[in-house]
Amino acid sequence: MAAPSHRRSLRSRRTLVVSVAVLAAGAGAGVFVMNANAGAVDLYHQTLAAKDGWASSGTGTTGGAKADSAHTFTVSTRAQLVKALGSASDTTPRIIKIKGTIDANTDDAGKKLTCANYASGTGYSLSAYLKAYDPATYGRSKLPSGTQEKARAAAQAKQAKNIAFKVPANTSIVGVPGTKAGISGGTLQIQNVDNVIVRNLAFAATEDCFPQWDPTDGDDGNWNSNYDSVTLRGATHVWADHNTFTDAPHLDSANPKYYGREYQIHDGALDITKGSDLVTVSRNQFTNHDKTMLIGSSDTDSVGKLRVSIHHNVWKGIVQRAPLARIGQIHIYNNYYDVTTLNGYAPQYSINSRAKAQVVAQNNYWKLPTSGKVAKLLSGDGTGSVAGSGNLVNGTTTDLVAAYNAASSKDLKTTVNWKPTLTAGLESSAKSLPTSLATTTGAGVLS
């Protein structure tokens, strides 16, 4: 495995010569990339290696590698990030280096903003909202409407204007090594653009101050929030690599309940929806989160798209959606799932294949506590497929689909209509993953 190269300094890497053929075979695939004319490129100009998942398809994913000096930025505040991103319609290649942690809930002068600041002037108050839509008086048959719902939407819009960062095409956003680089409380929105790289960043505390009550959601209603840490909508050629996603410091166990339901302020960690396509998600850490990764926003999302590769990631303290996949062709390989309850996050399932999704799950490793059940590692609606082999549970080769189907009335299908070929770095055995991925995934390990 090429894991040790993830920690090698740029200076030492410049002394190496690595051929494209070796990269294709998996030596540092997606981490160490060569430029045919100039030798090894630096972290900020690195592009996705050949055959490294769906994002390498066609034109590949190069992000802002062609950026000139005028479009190369180092930012450490929210205001600087907004300026560096510029217009979402500007396709000029750009590199944005994030130094340190950017707090999205600040104004242009760097002053801290709170939920009360966003609510100010809108007429919204939680107590008034709870009184207006109490199921005992409002009922459960329709969504909230009227004065307080309009006020909630207005307050939510104020927050969104401040914390949502729209990423243009041909952009690389990379954390500066050694600075604890990341974004707290913000959401990167990669929408209807092509060719974006997001690397070496810690995403934390992405919180919606103003969740909406939906009494029609499920049998008992639900509070639904609005922001993913990173969201792809109609995006193509996106590489998300060596990032960390967490709810911390405010974990779900601290959420109150209203109307008997959890007041959920977190949405997705990394969602891939609205016809997004050709995405590679590699060497990230997902932890302390509920609804983690959604592929396809609905059962009628875009047929022929939603092609995603997910490899060498760590999932720990995840309740569900790791991922939930609809419609597309999804390759999930060499991931490590620790499905032990962590900080109150009790796993429901790891992979859900529904709406005719075509999932290949290959050479992944699950750490299952003694109280856990193999049958609950997968989920589906009876139309999705999960093929693949080499998956280990506590070190033992296990047929996950057979275990799930034996306990379910809605069987997962076991054949798919495609065969993965963009598989640089694919390891033939999952046995070493718990150890090797512990120190080679997430933000802060690239140098």
**Catalytic residue set:** 321
C-alpha 393/C-alpha 395 separation (Å) is 5
Contacts of 191 (CB under 8 A, 6+ apart): 88, 166, 167, 231, 232, 233, 234, 235, 274
Token output for 167: 């990423």
SS3 217: coil
C-alpha 398/C-alpha 412 separation (Å) is 16
Token output for 157: 């819009």
DSSP 8-class letter at 345: B
- SS3 percent helix, strand, coil of the chain, rounded to 5, is 20, 30, 50
Closest CA to 312 of 375, 397, 414, 243: 243
SS3 252: helix
C-alpha 36/C-alpha 58 separation (Å) is 19
Return the exposure string of 262-274: e unless at least 16 CB atoms fall within 10 Å of the residue's CB, then b.
Answer: ebbbbbbbbbbbb
The dihedral of CA 57, 11, 437, 227: what is its sign?
Answer: negative
Strand duo 212-214 + 222-224: pairing: antiparallel
Interior CA angle at 358 toward 355 and 364, to 5°?
Answer: 120
C-alpha 249/C-alpha 305 separation (Å) is 35
